[in-house]
Every structure is written in structure tokens, then in C-alpha cells.
Structure 1
């Protein structure tokens, strides 16, 4: 991978880097950390990254509906087109010194924008000429503390938890395989399509692919860990290092991978009460011998709170059902139950310490 000193002359050049494309399309904790270091090495790289990310979006063009061979062929053609358009246009402009925050540097960035605009038109025409029947994507996102109920084109229902994103091809034909891509957590109530053999519903969650016909289940994908809990029906899991696995109601399967250690990939399977893992839909958490350290992570995922736990308290554990309607009330209850001090700092961090 690139070092923090690696420089790109144009947004197009960065957008053509396969490593950058993989990070934008399928980020992992390891690649997030790597590219964050690259961004922090030079403040001007943030603008470059934002423009390149938009260009990668043009590169994708709902390519999720293409097979891998066609997608790679298309990307190769688009990347070649980037070089042909962008480098002659903006290469000479970047040979001059860059003076940040000076109005006279604007024409250089205008060249980027002009090149990107021309490229966008060409890419759009090229895409629709080759793939006129591909439907547009639709993305649903939730903020911290927010949930959203989504009705899919087949009348299936998805409840999206806080700090999550769901992407799908917007128009599904009657015989098409139904696919969605999840980053975060969601509960799925999938409608079975009678009399249609090719009506499988697939949830892509990190490396794990959950295939179903008609069922209810919960999927969580955060920080390199994917968890699937099945309530009704049956599902098939693919993409696991242990091979394909089938689940029955009450099964919980967790796939974990460690950032920077590609060989450290684990699969855990257990029997649980599914309702406990889906209580968030009622704005509750069911804690089962859950450590304070784990609760701190849950609060960060759900509400964006930065919670710091005093190390001697990190393994204090709690079981029971607690409301998460208000994070402040939750923290007050936590303080009372465990007998700990919880306070908010001037920088809006939450400190959990002994009383």
C-alpha cells in the first residue's frame, strides 16, 4: 500500500488507483486507518480525496448489477479515459507551486472541475450506451440516535438502526434476484415471492452474504465484525472461511476479522433468544453479562458518544433490559445500577470512573 508521502497530481489520478477504489467501495478498519494517515500528512489532500471519491462514484455506476468480468473491463476503460482527459488538461497547472488559501490558485482547481465535468459526461454516455437497462441505486442512511422503516420494491420491510446505511438497486423486476448492501445494523422482514424460483433475497454485509427467500432476521456489520441472528425461516451464509452455513431460527453466527491480519478470520455460532438482539427496534437494549467496555462501544455506534471507561471498570458487567430512548437517561441509570461516576467533559467526552 502507499506510504503517507505518496502524492497524486490530480483527482483523476487518485480515482484510478485500485487501492483507493477498493477503499471507497468496500472500506475495512485497516484501509480506513491507512488512508486516514495519508490524508493527515497534507491538509490539501482532503480536497483531492473528496473530488476523487465523486469520480469513483461515477466509476461504479451501479456496477453491482454486473458480473465481475464486465465490471473489471468497464473500470479499465474508464480509467484509461480518465488519463486521456485529465492529464493533458491539468498536469501543467500542478507543476507550479501551490499557495493555499490564495484566490489566484482557483484556476488550477477550476481545471480539475472542468476536466471532471467533461469526464462525467463521457462516462455517463459510455455507461448508458453499454448498460441501458441498469436501474439506478438508492441509498438510505440514518444519523446517530435515529431509526428508519423502509419499504422495499417487493413490499419487504427493513428497519434501519442508527448510524447505518442501506443501498439497493431501486427497480426490481419480478424475476430478478433482490440484493441490498448493508453497513451498520438492520432488521429484515423479507416477503417471499410465490411461484418465482429466482426470487432469492441477498444481504451483502462486509464479506458475508446472507441469502434468504422469506424470513425475518437481524444483521449487524461494524468494525470488521458481521453478526446474523435469525428469528424465523431459514438463511444461507456465504463468504465465510468455514464455507457455506445454513441457519435455523434461534441461530446466531458471528464472523470476525482482525484489521491488518488477513489470516485472523473467525466464525462463532451459538443459540440465542432472537428477540434480545432485535429489542433496539423498541428503543431498548437487552444486556446479557455485557461489559462496560462493550456498552461504551454500543453507545458510540448508536449515538456517536465518545465514552472512556476507567480501565479497572472495563470488565464490570450488566444484565437486564434498559431503555435507550434517551442516552442521558441511560447513562444516569447505568451510574445508579453499577455505582459508578459518569460525567461529561468540556470536549463532550463521557468519562466513567469509580465513585
Structure 2
């Protein structure tokens, strides 16, 4: 397929492109910024390579967002470089390179970076202009766990809040939403909070969100590669170097890997979460799984008279009562368990303890799968 895509090019160029193509799948932001051919193409001085970069997007669609980010940085640097002196650029480069480059770097490598005042200078310029960009470097020394800090690519002025205390910090957002930020956590959001019909927050660490309902302006939380979208609800987001967890307390939220947000065809990866469900996102594998929280909470109070006391009640009624109180789907074979009934008295036991008592009494078993409880049984005689 690759050879056919380059069939219209001279053999020498076709051979070179096919030979190098395999390396682009491993390109990151810095690689694109340092690629002479890519910079020339962005600058409009190398139209002959346009098909090459379009082919890279086709072959490696996960590179589309990174390429767009690199393109915007290059154009921004070109637009504003005249307002900053060479010495200022050089100073900024040396300052940031000091924290981002390995101490064992060879002199020749330093010279290559000096010849292209790219990454550090452009990021510094963007910040100075009031813009922000998500970036990963050792300047995260003050960020919890060395995590990636996700910042918007817009030019809006940002506000950042960091919890340096040992207690939860309560934060009020401009729309009335409330955030409980855990120690060492940080959030960032635009001063112009509602923008392009979105409310966006960037999180590192752990925070509980109680979001004001506003269907016209959905609320987005970006955390270490995962996007959580809500209209109005309460939920917990916990990030680490390896995972992101989202636990829903009320309402509904959807979660989606950040890399898929601009690809409608990938929206099949989006998961809908309801109360007492949680999503676990693997940062390394870009995979989301749905399960149940460790300690599901009662969403409504049990019936005041009967509660969880069952006197020879059919199992369908028992499972229905659990579903109603905890909001967790319970799947079972109604035909197989048609003759099953229970005489049991439950009170303040946790959800899973109740399940243990019920299934052991019936000689059944259960497992958690995709955010629901699946009961297996051979029936009752």
C-alpha cells in the first residue's frame, strides 16, 4: 500500500520516503519541531513534501494532533520571533534545555539545538503571549508525581491553583461549580471560563468535582490523556503516572482517550458512567475499562417499611431492590433462577457483602463485568 501511494514520485525520492517512513511512527513533538523538511513544509517553502506529510497522517492517524501542535508552535514562533532578541531566545533555550536535556549530551547535539531555537523558545513565547500548551519536562518538579500537565492550546489567559497544604482545598469555579482539590493536586482553567460553548479544566493529581448543570456548555476535565465530559454531576478524578480513575457519585459522565477526541470514528471507545461506576484508564496502553467502585453508596434510601428484609421473596425482587438502591445493573438468567426465593435479613452491610450473603445462600456466584454484576447459577429446586 505504501509503495502504491508513492508510485507517482521519482524512484530516488520514493525510495528515500519509503525508507524513512518507518521512523515517523515513533516521532514525538520535539522530533517534528526539529525536522527540517517538516518545518519547511509548514513555512510553505517545500510544497513538494506535502504529500509525504499527508501520507504520514493517513498511515499514523495518532500523529495528527502532535503534528498540528508542532505546526501551530512553528507558525507562532515565526510570527512573534521578531519581537524577541536573539540573546533573549538563546537565554531561554539554555535555561529550559538545562532541565530537559540529558547531562551526557554530546557537544554536537547542543549545537544542533542552538541552530534551531525551537522547543524552549517557542513554549516560552507562547506563555509570554498568554497562551499555554500541554508540555512534559523536568520543569514538573513542583507537579505531583512528575505527571504530565495538560494545558489548552488556546491563547486565553490561564489561572492555576495548586494545593500545597496537607488538607483538601475547596475551590469555586467561575460557573459556580465546586472543586475539592487533594493535597499536591493542581488545576488550571481559563479566566474566560466559558469559551466556545465549553467549560474546561486541566487536572494533575486528585479532585472531586461538583459541577453546576449547564447543558449548553458541557464541562470537560483533561487528566493525563483522559477526557471526562459532563453536563452537571459530581464525580472524582484521580491521576497517577500510570492510571486515571473516574468515579461517578451522581448524574452521568462520559470518558474518552484524549487522542480520540478529534476522531469521530474512534468514539466507540467512549464509555458512559453512571453512579457507583468507575472507569480506569491505562496511560501506557490508552485503554479504558469500566467497573464498579469498591464501596458503592446508597443512591436512595431503601423502602422505609421492608428495607432489605425478605421473607421467601423471589430472587427477582431481591435483585430489583439492590438495583434500585445502588443504581448498579444486575444481570442474571431469569428462567434458570425462576424457582429461587430468599428468606434473608440485610441491614447496613456494604453492597458487596450483601451480594456475598445472597449468592452464598442461593449457591450462586457473581462477578463484576463492564460496570455491572453478573450472577451465575444452576437454579434452585
TM-score w.r.t. structure 1 length? 0.42
Q: Which has the larger radius of gyration?
A: 2
TM-score by length of 2: 0.39
Higher RCO by CA contacts (8 Å cutoff, separation 6 or greater):
1
Higher strand share: 1
